[in-house]
Structure 1
Amino acid sequence: MLKKIRSHDDFLTFMSQKIDLYYPNKRILREHFTHLIIWVSIIDLTKTAHLLKHRYSSNPRGRKPRNPCDMLRSLLLMHKLQYTSVDKWVDALRTVPLYAILSGFHPDSTPGVGTFYDFFNRLWLAPSPHLMNKKKRKVKKPKAKGKKHQKMAPRNPGIVEKLVNRALKQQGNVHYAPKAHDGLQTLFKEMFVEPSANQGLLGDTKSLSITGDGTPVETGGRPYGKLLCNCRKQGNWKCDCLRKFSDPDADFGWDSSREKYYYGRNLFMISASESPYDLPIYPRLYRASKHDSVLWVSTFHELLHWYPNWKIGESILDSAFDAYPIYEMLERYDVSAIIDLNPRRSKQFTYNKMDINLDGVPVCPIGREMLDWGIDKKRYRRKWRCPAAVGGWQCPHPCSDSSYGRTFYTSTKNNPRLFPRVKRDSKEWRKRFALRTGVERCIKRQKVDYKLEGSNGRSSRHWNIRTYIIAMCQHVDAWVKETEKNQYKELHRKVKSILFI
C-alpha cells in the first residue's frame, strides 16, 4: 500500500535540506551540477502515484513500497547520466550522495536492484517481460538481400490495403486493444506530452502537424538462439531443430542505412513536426521484419486513441509510405498528406483523358504543362488553365475555341496521391516536406545522445521502458531550454534560490 505522497514543493525542500547537509561547500555543485539540479527540479512527478496506484497492493500490512515518484525520477536521472545498467546505477546511488538526493532518496537508504525490477513490473502490464510465450522456435534466416538505401518491401504486397480497409470500417469508433506498454504511455502522455503541448512546444494541437519514421534497434540477444539438440555432435551442422531464444520477440530486419541485416526491433517514432525541439509524441516498438507502411496504419490509429482531443491536420512522410491506401486513409480522416513519391512506383498517369506528370500537373496535348490558377480550399479542387491563353501565344493545336482557353480541374477527393492538398514541387510543398527531418533528429537524440542501443537488453519490457524514459528526458531537456528564455527566467531564479546555489 502506498503511503502519503509528498508534493513537488516538498521534494524541492527535501533536496535543498539534504544538499546543505551533505554539501556545505557548494562550489563544486555550482561548477559542475547546476544544470543537472535544475533539470531534476523542473520535473513535477506528483501524478505518478495516482496513475500507478492500481499497480500496488491495497493491503496495509507488509513493507511499504518505495515512492513511485522517486523511482521514476531516479530512472530519468539514470538515463540522463547515460547509465545503461541498473546494477551500475544502484552502485552510483550508494557512492554518490548527490544522485540519491536528486532522485528523492536518503543517501543512507537507496533502493537495490530488485526494487528497480519490481518497479519495472509495475510499469509493464504484461505478466512476462516477453510478449511471446513461445521461447522455442526454429531459426528463420533472411533469404532475399535488401537494396542499397532502400527499405525491404512488405512480404504481402496487399497488406497495407487490407489494414486500411479494416480500419476505415471502424472510422468514428477507433478500436484499441490493451497493450503491455499502456502504463508507460499513460505516464508519458499525462506528465510530459500534455505539459509540453500546453507550453506550445508541439505546435497547434487543433491542427497538429506530425511526422513519423522507423529505425532499427539491435537487441542484446543471440540471433540464432541456443541449441537444444545434439545434432552437431553427430556431424549435422545445419539442423532444423527447435532452439531457445533469450529475446523471442526480436527477429531479423533490413537496415537500409548500414546495408545489413540486424536482429532486434523496429522503433517507429511519431513526433511533432513543428516542434522547435523535435519532441516525440508516441514511440512504438515492433518486430524488425515489419515494413514502415504497415506500421504507420496501426500506429496512426493508436495515436488517435491516445489523443482524442487533438486534431491531426497534416502528416509528413517519406517515400516508404507512398501507397495509395495510406493517402485514402488520411483523406478520410481529413489529414493533409505530404508524402514523397517512391521512384519505383512513379510513372506518368492519365486522368480524365489528360496526361498527368509526377508533380501532379496536367500536360496538354502539345506537351506543355498547364498553369495553376488557384484552389478551392473547401472542396480541395484545383483549377488549371491553358498555357497559351495565359501566355498570349498561338497554340498550333488549340484544345478550345474560347479566348479564355481550356480549363481543367483536379480534385484531391478523386485521387489524393496524384493531387494532394498541397501541390507537389511547389514552394509550400518543399517548405512543409523539409519539416520531415524533425523525426530523424528525434530518433538521433534517442540513439546517439542517449545511447538507446548501448544496453544489452533482451526483452520487450526492457526496450519499451528504455525508449519511453528517453522520450521523457527529451521533453525535460526542452523544458530546461525554455527556462533560459525571458518569460522563464523567474522560474530559473526561483529554483536556484530554493537550492541556495
Structure 2
Amino acid sequence: MENISYYDFMDRLIRKDRILYKSKLHRSKRKLKKKQKKNKKMDFSKPGVVNRLVDRVLKYNNSQLPDNLETTLNHILKEVFVMPSLSMGILGDPNKFNTAGDGTCMPTNASPYGKKVCNCKLKPGEHCDCPRLFSDLTASWGWDSYNEQYYYGHTFHGFTACDSFYSLPIHIKCVTAERHNSVTGVYALKELVDLYPEINFYSDILTYKTKKKYYVK
C-alpha cells in the first residue's frame, strides 16, 4: 500500500490551480478615497454586467466546472458531507431543493502595498509605478458595508441548504474583495447547478442586501 503524506495530498490538490503559479509581481491598487453609503456595496465599474453574465450563462449552459483547486474542494464537500447528509434527510427535499446564498468580507494580513523590488532611487514620500512583490495575489480593496470601511482581502461566498435546521453549506467560493456580490452570485449559482445534477433546485434566496431577499427559480 502506498504511503501518502499530507504534503503529497496538498500537491495533488493545488497542482491544477494556475493562480498559484502566476507571477507575484504586479502594480499596487490604491484604496478608494470616496466613502460608500451604509448597507451599500461598491458601485459597478461596468453597468449592466450582471445582465450580460446571465445571458452568457444561458447561452453557454453546457459549459463545465472550472478546473481549479476550488472546484476540487467543492467536490470533496459534496462527496464527503453533502450527499451523505442529503441521504439522511437533513438537508431538505432533493426534488424541490431550496438554497440561500450570501457573501462575507475576508480581510487578509498581507500588505496592500507590496514589497519594492526595483532599483528606482526615490526620495522620501515619492513612489514609482514599477511592479511590486505581493504575497497575496488575488487580494484587492473592497467595501465592508456593515462596518462602513474599506478592507484589503477577499469575499467569501457560500450557499447553504435553507431547509436544513443547521443551515449546512453545500457550495463555497472565494473571490477578490472588489467583485460585487451579485456578480459572484451568478458565477456561484451556475457552478452550484453544475456540481449537483442529482438535485432539482427550486429556489435560491440571495441575501445580498440588508433586509431584502431575492427569490430565483
Aligned 8 A contact 2:100 2:207 in 1: no
Hey, what does 2:30 align to over in structure 1? 141
1:148 and 1:296, CA in 2 relative to 1: closer, same or farther beyond 3 A?
Answer: same
Indicate whether 1:65 and 2:3 are aligned: yes
Question: How many residues get paired?
Answer: 214
Letter in 1 for 2:85: S
Equivalent residue for 2:108, pick from 187, 194, 219:
219
Hey, what does 2:198 align to over in structure 1? 309
Equivalent residue for 1:152, pick from 18, 42, 51:
42
Residue 339 (structure 1) shift? 1.4
Letter in 1 for 2:101: G
Residue 253 (structure 1) shift? 1.1
Hey, what does 2:146 align to over in structure 1? 257
Residue 132 (structure 1) shift? 6.0
Aligned 8 A contact 1:210 1:272 in 2: yes
Hey, what does 2:214 align to over in structure 1? 339
Gap regions ≥5 residues in structure 2:
none
> C-alpha deviations, 1:383-442, integer Å up to 9, x for none?
xxxxxxxxxxxxxxxxxxxxxxxxxxxxxxxxxxxxx99xxxxxxxxxxxxxxxxxxxxx
In the aligned structure 1, how far is the partner of 2:85 from the partner of 2:15?
A: 26
Aligned 8 A contact 1:137 1:242 in 2: yes
In the aligned structure 2, how far is the partner of 1:136 from the partner of 1:288?
A: 19
In the aligned structure 2, how far is the partner of 1:292 from the partner of 1:127?
A: 23
Aligned 8 A contact 2:65 2:71 in 1: no
Hey, what does 2:10 align to over in structure 1? 120
TM-score by length of 2: 0.88
Indicate whether 1:246 and 2:121 are aligned: no
Residue 255 (structure 1) shift? 1.2
Hey, what does 2:59 align to over in structure 1? 169
> C-alpha deviations, 1:428-462, integer Å up to 9, x for none?
xxxxxxxxxxxxxxxxxxxxxxxxxxxxxxxxxxx
Residue 127 (structure 1) shift? 5.6
SS in structure 2 at match of 1:140: coil
Aligned 8 A contact 1:216 1:288 in 2: yes
In the aligned structure 2, how far is the partner of 1:317 from the partner of 1:301?
A: 14
Q: Between Structure 1 and Structure 2, which shows a larger proportion of strand residues?
A: 2
Hey, what does 1:198 align to over in structure 2? 87
Residue 198 (structure 1) shift? 0.7
In the aligned structure 2, how far is the partner of 1:243 from the partner of 1:182?
A: 30
User: Equivalent residues in 2 for 1:422-441 (5 A)?
Assistant: none
SS in structure 1 at match of 2:69: coil
Residue 200 (structure 1) shift? 1.1
> C-alpha deviations, 1:300-321, integer Å up to 9, x for none?
1101111011111111123549
1:127 and 1:187, CA in 2 relative to 1: closer, same or farther beyond 3 A?
Answer: closer
In the aligned structure 1, how far is the partner of 2:190 from the partner of 2:31?
A: 30
1:237 and 1:117, CA in 2 relative to 1: closer, same or farther beyond 3 A?
Answer: farther
1:194 and 1:170, CA in 2 relative to 1: closer, same or farther beyond 3 A?
Answer: same
Letter in 1 for 2:194: H
In the aligned structure 1, how far is the partner of 2:17 from the partner of 2:49?
A: 30
Aligned 8 A contact 1:292 1:320 in 2: no
In the aligned structure 2, how far is the partner of 1:117 from the partner of 1:217?
A: 26
Equivalent residue for 1:180, pick from 47, 50, 69:
69
Residue 118 (structure 1) shift? 3.3
In the aligned structure 2, how far is the partner of 1:150 from the partner of 1:164?
A: 22
> C-alpha deviations, 1:126-162, integer Å up to 9, x for none?
366x446121111111323222222112221111011
Indicate whether 1:209 and 2:147 are aligned: no
Aligned-residue CA RMSD in angstroms?
2.3
Q: Between Structure 1 and Structure 2, which shows a larger proportion of helix residues?
A: 1
Higher relative contact order (CA 8 A, sep 6+): 2
Bigger radius of gyration, 1 or 2?
A: 1
Equivalent residue for 1:271, pick from 129, 152, 160:
160
Letter in 2 for 1:121: D
User: Equivalent residues in 2 for 1:286-325 (5 A)?
Assistant: 286-318=175-207, 320=209
